[in-house]
Amino acid sequence: MKFFNVIVCFCLLISTCEAFAQNVIRKCSANQKHCYVFNKRLVTGDKVSIINEKNQLVAIGEISDMRETVRKITILKKYAPITTKCKVSRLTDQEARNPDEYFDMIKPVPSNYIYGSINLGSLRVGQGSTAFGGEGGYDWSMKNGFTYGAKGTFYYASGEASLYNAGGDEKVKTDFKTFGVLVEGVGTYRTAESRMLSFRVDLELGLGYLSLNKGEINEDDEVEGFGDYDSGVGLVFGAGGYAIYNSKGSIKPYVGAAMSYIKSKRYIRIGLGFSLYSY
């Protein structure tokens, strides 16, 4: 009798594990164009939804092959990365045609997008100054969250610098104004793309043109705080980090901070902007 009870419990355990495994993604191909699930009821041609653990739609697929209890899913549309925690359910024709009306959907940052922001910054020239400007760019997708792109940045700043006469005895102040235009190539890494809040990290390299007005300065005067910073073209390199709010729709707001060096001078800025994505 005890042996019989053990057999019954073992059979129940197997059936429970099999039931638990039903409708859960077992694995996907490297490019996530095909996924596999244990399911006895789905048949070839059925449209299916793939839902994550937060009950959000991450993909729509179609059963393309059947082998015993294994079903092969060909992914038709993917909105976010597919994991082994995702579940599979049959879709009705109406749900397949209009998923926005039936599912909670969070769209990730797409492959290519345009972005732009207005910036408030600090330029370390002279005794330091507040800078106003903006930037905009375009990114192209690569793989595994990496993208490359190009962007332009401009700023305007004014401030004061310490001025010494030829003898070095008398210290006065001089006003200066500067305007800069930076054109850079950008390498980007994006993470958490399937979540409401995603992140972008940039590395930048390019050239910049500066226009600098030092005020009333004679050739023999010594100005403290300018160094190599003067009108002309210079090499630019920098980095930035941004947080993107993945709201529904094609326009998504973001906020971030970046730092660039041009002619050995540091330009730090924070920006608030919007990205325009094409899905």
Q: Which residue has the tokens 């732009």?
A: 116
3-state secondary structure of 10: helix
**What's the distance, Cα to Cα, between the start and end of the chain in Å?**
63
User: What is the reported pLDDT for 55?
Assistant: 86
Q: Give the other-Cβ count within 10 Å of 218's Cβ.
A: 8
CATH classification code of 28-105? 2.40.10
In this chain, the answer to whether the domains covering 28-105 and 113-277 adopt an identical fold is no
Distance, in Å, from the CA atom of 48 to the CA atom of 97, rounded to the nearest integer, reads 12
Pair 273, 115: CB distance under 8 Å: yes
User: What is the reported pLDDT for 147?
Assistant: 83
List the chain domain ranges: 28-105, 113-277
Pair 278, 112: CB distance under 8 Å: yes
Q: Kind of pairing, strands 146-164 and 222-224?
A: antiparallel
User: What is the reported pLDDT for 213?
Assistant: 84
Q: What is the pTM of this model?
A: 0.60
The torsion defined by the Cα of 35, 40, 43 and 49, in degrees rounded to 10, comes to -50
Distance, in Å, from the CA atom of 121 to the CA atom of 117, rounded to the nearest integer, reads 12
Give the total residue count for the chain: 279
User: What is the reported pLDDT for 19?
Assistant: 39
Over its length of 279 residues, how does the chain's per-residue pLDDT go in tens digits?
454 444 434 443 333 344 345 689 999 998 889 999 999 889 999 999 999 888 888 899 999 999 989 999 999 988 877 888 899 999 998 888 888 888 887 655 566 788 999 999 998 887 778 999 999 999 887 666 688 899 999 999 988 877 666 666 556 677 888 999 999 999 888 887 667 788 889 999 999 999 988 766 655 566 667 777 888 999 999 999 999 887 766 788 999 999 999 988 899 999 999 887 654
CATH classification code of 113-277? 2.40.160.20
